[in-house]
Structure 1
Amino acid sequence: MSNMQEDKKSKVKKGWLAVRVGLEDEDGGFQRFVIPISYLYHPLFKHLLEKAHEVYGYHTSGPLRVPCSVDDFLHLRCKFGEEDCDKFYH
């Protein structure tokens, strides 16, 4: 991948946050998603943040890692707000 393509992929719109979702033993590894920052305040996502702290601690390099299966994350995103389901991208 060229540097220009990497720069485009790493840029996130203002008000959004890149996260890596997946489990260590899951086929396909981690997937990158970009979510609205407002999701950080949702009780379901707060639970995922607590779980991330237990698994990875506070000091990790790179994007925020969320320790749940990609399928579970895709299902949860709709619980954050039905109107927001279409806004997710990876």
Structure 2
Amino acid sequence: MGKKIKGFKLGRRLIRVSGWVFWRFRTRPGYQKLGSSASRKPMEKVLKWGRKLARQARSVCVGSGYVPIGSEPVKEELSPAVPKGHLAVYVGREDGEFHRELVPVIYFNHPLFGELLKEAEKEFGFQHPGGITIPCRFTEFERVKTRIESGYVVVNL
């Protein structure tokens, strides 16, 4: 009986040791890389490193502030991003300065704003290059905006 117990203990130890030995070769669940980097040829590693270096150099060159030697810097007009649900509209007369205003999209359905858009259509037409331009004084535009905000309704009889 004593040998049976010892044999059993020895068997458990063999299973434990064999588990450690074959643990590397077991398939694991989840993502596994197909080719390991150790099996690659040295030249492939050098080429991969060169491509990575070139890609990083391009990303540095494309970033803001980089100007190649012998070329003039490009002046970009930095305008803030338009928030969701708004449109950028330019307000003013051709003889004066245009103001960039952010207008909620829902205002475009209002009759007062529709009148401003009809004026823009008469003056510029539908083939106007650039953004939506409303040809009126900035104070008039602000007045229309405040009326729309206050819930002013135009009643057509």
Identity %: 34
Q: Quote the residue 1:13 is aligned against.
A: 83
Within the alignment, does 1:66 sit opposite 2:134 as a pair?
A: yes
Alignment of 1:82 with 2:144, yes or no, is no
Cα RMSD for the two superposed structures: 2.1
Alignment map for 1:48-59 (pairs within 5 Å): 48-59=116-127
Give the letter aligned to residue 14 of structure 1.
K
**Structure with higher strand content:** 1
Distance in 1 (alpha carbons) for counterparts of 2:87 and 2:94 = 22
Q: Which residue of 2 aligns with 1:22?
A: 92
Deviation of 1:63 after TM superposition, in Å, equals 1.2
CA shift, 1:10, in A, is 4.8
**1:16 partner letter:** H
Amino acid at match of 2:82: V
Q: TM-score normalised to the size of structure 1?
A: 0.76
Q: Which amino acid aligns with 1:20?
A: Y
Aligned to 1:45: 113
Secondary structure of residue in 2 paired with 1:52: helix
Give the SS at the match of 1:81: helix
TM-score, length-scaled by structure 2: 0.45
> Which fold has the larger relative contact order, with Cα–Cα distance below 8 Å and residues 6 or more apart in sequence?
1
Aligned length: 78
Unpaired stretches in structure 1, ≥5 consecutive residues:
84-90
Q: Does 1:33 align with 2:125?
A: no
Code of the aligned partner of 1:44: L
Deviates most, 17-26 or 48-57: 17-26
Amino acid at match of 1:53: E
In the TM superposition, structure 1's runs of 4+ consecutive aligned residues that sit over 3 Å from their partners are none
CA distance in 2, matches of 1:67, 1:10: 23
What 5-or-longer segments of structure 2 have no aligned partner? 1-74, 152-157
